[in-house]
A and B are shown apart, each in its own frame.
Chain A
Amino acid sequence: MIYFDNVSKIYNDGKSIALEGISFQVESREFVSIVGHSGAGKTTLLKMLIAEDRPSDGQVFFESLDIHKIPKTKLPKYRRKIGTVFQDFKLLPHKTAFENIAFAMEANGRSDEEIAENVPQALALVDLEDKIWNFPHELSGGEKQRVAIARAIVNQPDIIIADEPTGNLDPIATYEVVQILKKINDLGTTVIMTTHNKGVIDELGRRVITMDEGRVVRDDSEGRYVL
């Protein structure tokens, strides 16, 4: 489904190397964790996937599509195939949970009827039906992240990209968020997640790609957190 073909990213005219000769592929319905120290290149890798950044060398494919050859006008359409979750949630502070999720559907041009139907469903999937009219500042960190996940899945993307989704959460909230991501994966959506959390990786028992200084150093199909 996703192919990285010898991808390198060099900043500052060769002075700082973020990625070096990355090649791997992700199959449909896989749950892949990417681990590594800060600065290992995890986030840069994800940015390539959502076409926020382009490689200095090599190619990234989504199915048969070369992501960095997509014309600018077609990029929004491509991004709708991807749901994104971030460490800092990126919820809009003056919108309720419902409105935050509805916003993503509006941007996709979905009808008001669909929005009224799908938003509560997405919130139910993350166990937040009772917080539907709360604003982000009225929610805990774990709850905010679950709203963000609901927003990411509401448009039924092919793939979820989660960049350190548990980075700001306590252990219980971390557990809940990982369980939700697992559930989403079981329902058929590919998940790519970066993390620092050893517990999360060991608990998951899924594929782990380990990165160090811009290179893939390990790729285990039933990996553990080894650094």
Chain B
Amino acid sequence: MWTAFKRIVRSGFVGFWRNAFVSLAAIFVMTVALFVFGSTMMLDKLLGVSLQNIQEKVDINVYFVTTADDAEMAALKTQLEALTDVEEVKFTSRDEALERFRKQHQNDNTIMQGLDELGDNPLGASLSIRAKETSQYEGIANFLAEQQGLSVNDPLIDKINYYDNQEAINKLTAIINAVERASLIIMFILVGASIMITFNTIRLAIYTTREEIGVMRLVGASNMFIRGPFMLQGVIYGVVAGVLALIMLYPILIWIGPGTEEFFQFNLFNYFVSDFGRIFVIMIVSGMMLGMVSSLLAVARHLRV
């Protein structure tokens, strides 16, 4: 068993060096495939983060009438928090609202003057509600509308701003879904193409040694003994290609890192460096699987009895 393993490993490495040119071609193709795979992974992360950012900014605001009772508002807040779809409910009191308003318009003399002349605080308290998923906002808005409808005679809620934002929220939900679906499809196509290209390159490498495979079968070598060296070669291709792809990604990420920071508030290069262990393992393991599966498929043709 151990001798067989040793021989498989040895002839795997010998095959790798002997077919140096084909090895080089296979590694090159796989490097490109893995580079695309890695880039897709990065793009996916970037999209994920920016979607999360946008999602966090979406909320429903409930504005209470200025005469609203504190207890009633607190009751509504508790009710909302009890809903399973709700992530967070934030209460802004009348005073806080006024203070924020003043801060926002402190350079606008007309508004400040008007506010001072008014004497009383014209702003109502409000609740800002965040759902767990953007698709759940509609349900929450419906619930609030119901509450509003219940108290027509003694109104508590002045305005629900969801209906203003409804269209925007719906559009955003659609975009998020479409982007997620599209990136999944692109990923599948790229991985499929990579496997096909690598498979053909390795098949070329194996084609040059088909005579050897024929003789091996003739002298009673087991299938594993025949396949082993080719699978190992595929794994070597994958590891080398994975490392090369990571080396290619590095300078590109240095280059676009600041740009992503500015645009998405997320530095892709910092992510690459801080999560390098995980990315490294994913890339290398993908390369190994790609090489091994391609080798297996390619050598299977020559093993048929």
Contacts and interface: CB of A to CB of B under 8 A. Distances in A.
Interface in A65-98: 72-73, 75-80, 82, 84, 90-92, 94
B214 interface: yes
A66 to B, nearest CB: 15
Contact of A90 (B7, B214, B220, B221): B214
B220 A80 contact: yes
B215 A79 contact: no
B218 A90 contact: yes
SS class, residues of chain B in contact with chain A? helix
B220 A92 contact: no
A67 to B, nearest CB: 12
Contacts of A73: 223
Given A75-B305, A109-B4, A84 B218 contact: yes
Contacts of B214: 90
A50 B220 CA distance: 10
B305 A106 contact: no
B3 A103 contact: no
A79 B220 contact: yes
A16 interface: no
Size category of the B interface is 10 to 19
B228 to A, nearest CB: 11
Interface in B178-234: 211-212, 214-223, 225
A178 interface: no
Contact of A107 (B18, B211, B219): B219
Interface string A145-156: 000000100010
Given A76-B223, A107-B220, A155-B220, A90 B215 contact: yes
Nearest to B11: A106
A189 to B, nearest CB: 16
A51 to B, nearest CB: 7
B225 A107 contact: yes
Contacts of B217: 76, 79
Given A51-B305, A72-B305, A106 B7 contact: yes
A155 B218 CA distance: 12
A73 B305 CA distance: 11
A11 B4 CA distance: 39
A28 interface: no
A79 B218 contact: yes
Contacts of A107: 216, 219-222, 225
A62 to B, nearest CB: 14
A104 interface: yes
A92 B211 contact: yes
Interface in A95-125: 103-104, 106-109, 111-112
Contacts of B18: 94
B267 to A, nearest CB: 53
A84 B222 CA distance: 16
Nearest to B8: A106
A170 interface: no
A52 interface: yes
A76 B7 contact: no
A155 B220 CA distance: 10
Interface string B264-292: 00000000000000000000000000000
29 contacts: A50-B218, A52-B305, A72-B223, A73-B223, A76-B217, A76-B220, A76-B221, A76-B223, A77-B220, A77-B222, A79-B220, A80-B219, A82-B220, A84-B218, A90-B211, A90-B214, A90-B218, A91-B215, A92-B211, A103-B216, A104-B220, A107-B219, A107-B220, A107-B222, A108-B220, A108-B221, A112-B3, A155-B219, A155-B220
Given A52-B305, A76-B220, A103-B219, 14 more contacts: A50-B218, A72-B305, A76-B217, A76-B225, A78-B220, A79-B219, A82-B220, A84-B218, A90-B214, A90-B218, A94-B18, A107-B221, A108-B219, A151-B219
Interface of A: 50-52, 72-73, 75-80, 82, 84, 90-92, 94, 103-104, 106-109, 111-112, 151, 155
Interface of B: 3-4, 7, 18, 211-212, 214-223, 225, 305
Q: Which 5 A-B pairs have the closest CB atoms?
A: A107-B221, A80-B220, A79-B220, A104-B219, A76-B222
